[in-house]
Amino acid sequence: MESVSGRKSVLEVRGLMRRFGGLTAVDRFDVDVNEGEIVSLVGPNGAGKTTVFNLISGVLRPTAGSVRLLGRELVGLPAHRITHQGVARTFQNIRVFPQLTVRENILLGTHHWTRSGMLGSVTFWPSTLRAERAAQAEVHTAIDLFRERLEARLDDPAFSLSYANRRRTEMARALAARPKLLLLDEPAAGMNPYERIEVAGLIRSMRDRGLTIFLIEHHMPLVMEISDRVIVMDHGVKIAEGLPKEVHSNPRVVEAYLGRRAASA
């Protein structure tokens, strides 16, 4: 397993395991993600990738194992506290809040780091006003990456958006949470080639801004292009890890995707 010396470890997962009755969805999974890295998690459908994300972000409780963010143990914390520790994510099937506007969706991202309560809202309390202003400013920072795409739609309800715009909104929302670790679950799903190029650019820009990114993706060319490292899972187990090129030609990986005959071909 590679590690770049001198770089701080952002995510450290050891022995992560999750069982559902008789099925072991994730079996002793380890991963290290260092600051500023883009690490991709790939594997056939049903491999357990999204489950790993759910375990890290606190949506599911692990049967065993440990997840450390910047040294701080996350296992056992409720999901909303894990977000507060610095983990933000997007979902495979885009979960924006349909009845909230784009702006409000992104503002939701700022929820965990702004302080403004009910009493403050009705009394125009100064600290509340300041917090609201800071949050509104963050919205503009967050949509900056998307150039003008979302600007015109800021006050439209999210259910009226196109698929691509919904994905952008979800990403902007995750960015607005000012995370230390960003989990992207299939960011390029359902996109045409032009949009995929945009997504690749976005991910790189986010990394350039200092984010550490752990992503799940099916589109292999995209993975090859932007990843520093690739991890391959199958049936809940990590079967390969390394530089994109190494992993690509690994016979175990080919077998996992295409079957034994293809691997020996």
Q: Which residues bind other proteins (CB under 8 A)?
A: 20-23, 25, 45-51, 54, 57-61, 78-80, 83-84, 88-89, 91-93, 95-100, 104, 107-109, 111-114, 116-118, 121-122, 128, 131-132, 135, 147-149, 152, 157, 159-163, 173, 177, 198
**CB nearer other proteins, residue 34 or residue 186:** 186
Residue 145, CA distances (Å) to 119, 169, 217, 223 in order:
34, 11, 21, 20
Q: Supply the minimum distance, in Å, between the C-beta of residue 210 and other proteins.
A: 20
**CB nearer other proteins, residue 86 or residue 227:** 86
Write the Ramachandran bin of 31: left for phi over 0, alpha for psi from -120 to 50, otherwise beta: beta
**Which residue is listed with tokens 């979800």?**
170
**CB nearer other proteins, residue 175 or residue 226:** 175
Q: Supply the minimum distance, in Å, between the C-beta of residue 107 and other proteins.
A: 6
CA angle, 219 as apex, 89 and 259 as ends, to 5°? 115
Q: Supply the minimum distance, in Å, between the C-beta of residue 212 and other proteins.
A: 18
Q: Supply the minimum distance, in Å, between the C-beta of residue 209 and other proteins.
A: 19
Distance separating alpha carbons of residues 51 and 59, to the nearest angstrom: 9
**CB nearer other proteins, residue 46 or residue 221:** 46
Residue 121, CA distances (Å) to 99, 114, 125, 126 in order:
21, 13, 7, 10
Is the four-CA dihedral 151, 156, 158, 164 of positive or negative sign?
Answer: negative
**CB nearer other proteins, residue 89 or residue 229:** 89
**CB nearer other proteins, residue 34 or residue 166:** 166
3-state SS, residue 217: coil
Q: Supply the minimum distance, in Å, between the C-beta of residue 3 and other proteins.
A: 28
Separation of CA 11 from chain center: 12
User: DSSP letter at 3?
Assistant: -
Q: Supply the minimum distance, in Å, between the C-beta of residue 94 and other proteins.
A: 9
**CB nearer other proteins, residue 80 or residue 209:** 80
Q: Supply the minimum distance, in Å, between the C-beta of residue 208 and other proteins.
A: 18
